[in-house]
Amino acid sequence: MTRPGFLDQTLFDELAEKAAASPRGRQHHNFHQMDEPCHRMAVGLQPSTYIPPHRHLGADKAETLLVLKGRLGVLIFDEAGAVTDKRILQAGGDCLGVDLPAGVYHGLVVLEADSLMFECKAGPYRPVGEGEMAHWAPREGESGVAEYHAWMRAQFD
């Protein structure tokens, strides 16, 4: 039997520090084993992180995101890359999370330093596959990321 995992200020501080030190601007803390059917994780996020628009095509790959600390912007896109919905997700705010059905293109921007979200989706883990990354947006590490990321952030100005 494994030990209980607590979502407490100690964990929040650790994830914020590790996310700030990470070149990707984010840090995961898994509460699950990789082969478990339900993946649960806390994710520390900094404004520098780029989470490109993507979708999960597996019928069982819906995901739920809840903001535990800070503020995120979520963008929902159609197949061509037009924004169909957007919301600010904020701990203690009017909207603190989103439940994303499988197949929906979405992207996130971090609007407040040291933000933290809880994510839950079906396992086991598999990398984003063919047809899941948005064809209209640059992938992490590609040219144009800074401009596209700035555009995503500007949707919440």
Q: Which amino acid is at 57?
A: L
Cis peptide before 37 (omega within 30 of 0): no
**Two structure tokens written together for 59:** 């019928």
Identify the DSSP state of 145.
H
CA angle 94, 112, 5 (to 5 degrees): 80
Task: Summarize the confidence of residues 62-77 as an average pLDDT.
Answer: 97
Residue 1 has pLDDT above 70, yes or no: no
Q: What is the pTM of this model?
A: 0.93
136-150 per-position pLDDT tens digit: 999 999 999 999 999
**Two structure tokens written together for 29:** 């803390």
- Note the CATH architecture for domain 9-154: Sandwich (2.60)
The predicted structure's pLDDT at residue 59: 85
Task: Summarize the confidence of residues 103-122 as an average pLDDT.
Answer: 97
2-14 per-position pLDDT tens digit: 789 999 999 999 9
Domain boundaries, the chain: 9-154
Taking the alpha carbons of 47, 149, 68, 7 in that order, is the dihedral positive or negative? negative
145 φ, ψ to 5°?
A: -60, -45
CA angle 8, 156, 93 (to 5 degrees): 40
Identify the DSSP state of 133.
B
**Two structure tokens written together for 98:** 């989103």
